[in-house]
Structure formats: C-alpha cells, structure tokens
Amino acid sequence: MLRTLVAATAAALTFTGLALAVPQKDTVTLTAALKARFEVPKATGVRVGAVGAFTAKAVELDNDRARLTWRLTFSKLTGRADAAHIHIGRAGKAGGVMVALCGPCKNGQRGTANITHAKLRTIRAGGTYVNVHTAKNAAGEIRGQVKSSDAGSSSNPPPSPSPPPEPPPYP
C-alpha cells in the first residue's frame, strides 16, 4: 500500500513537472489612465472630472498574431462616446489609428481584437495611446498612454520541477 502511494506520488510529480516544462506564450497586461489633459490637440469644453480607464490582456498566438481582450470605462464626457481607438503615438503626439476598439462605445464595454506581433511590440514599447472621441471633441476627448507589464513569458522558462521526494525507509 505504501509503495503504491509513493509510486503514485512520484508519477504525479513527474507529470506536473512535464506540464510546467511546456513553453508558455507571452501574456502582457496593458493599462491606460485616460484624462482630458493628455489629449492632443487639446480637447475643448471638457467637463471637470472627465476620465476613463483602458485595461487589456494580450496573448501571443501562432502565425504572427496576438489576441487583445480589453475593457474600457469612462465618465463625465461632453456627450456620447462615438468611438475609441488605440493610436500610434508617444505622449504629447497625435497619431493614426492602430486598432479600432468600439464605436459607438458604452461605459464598461469589453471586446477582443486580433493584432500582429509587430503591433504588440509597438504597444509594449510605449508607442501607443487610447482615446475616446465625442461629437464635441471628434479628435479625442480623453486620452492615456498604454503601459504594459509582462504577466508571463516563454522567454523566461518555468523553473525546473523539484525531484520527487525520497520514499520513507522500510522496516
């Protein structure tokens, strides 16, 4: 009975170690705090306290693709959120649309988008921003630079599994 238990434990630890050794795809967490004062060109007639937040996870897939799963929240805009995008552009610079998120948009809206690995590299390097457009501020009313943090990476292999425990001495 004890030998069977020890053998089963050793087998379970071995399979766990093999599962941990399977390469994992890169997962990146993305965030942006959206405020009117970050918008370029400067938004007009914006209400005090107009803010938003963009949160997302990007998972690298095969075939030069990554899946972006996102959520957008906002409040106190001058009107309906007509659209929101991820744009190419460093802080203080306006840029072209990289990814269309929604249009029209609702507070708390969620979505997914497939992007290339090159676009994900640009996002990870801090070269993008999210903004929300309204009728009064068609170029954008609130904006925030996208920041990234790695949640898991295949470039950092998992630690080696611990060897199975030594079986207890038999009498």
Cα(147)–Cα(140) distance, integer angstroms = 19
Q: Give the domain CATH number at 90.
A: 2.60.40
Is there a domain that residue 54 lies in? yes
Report if residue 126 sits inside a domain.
yes
Q: Partners of 74 in the beta sheet?
A: 52
Tokens of 87: 């744009």
Supply the pTM of this predicted model: 0.74
Q: How many structural domains are present in the chain?
A: 1
Does residue 139 lie within any of the structural domains? yes
Containing structural domain, residue 139 = 27-148
Task: Please say if the pLDDT value at position 6 is more than 70.
Answer: no
Contact 62, 109 (CB under 8 A): no
5 in any annotated domain: no
What's the pLDDT score for residue 5?
Answer: 47
* pLDDT the model gives residue 7: 54
Q: Is residue 1 part of a domain?
A: no
**Would you give the end-to-end CA distance of the chain in angstroms?**
14
| Residue ranges in the chain assigned as alpha helix (H) | 2-21, 117-124
Give me 22's structure tokens. 């399977």
Give the list of residues 6+ apart from residue 28 with CB closer than 8 angstroms, or none.
57, 58, 59, 120, 123, 124, 148, 149, 150, 151
157 falls within a domain: no
133 inside domain: yes
| Residue 101 in domain | yes
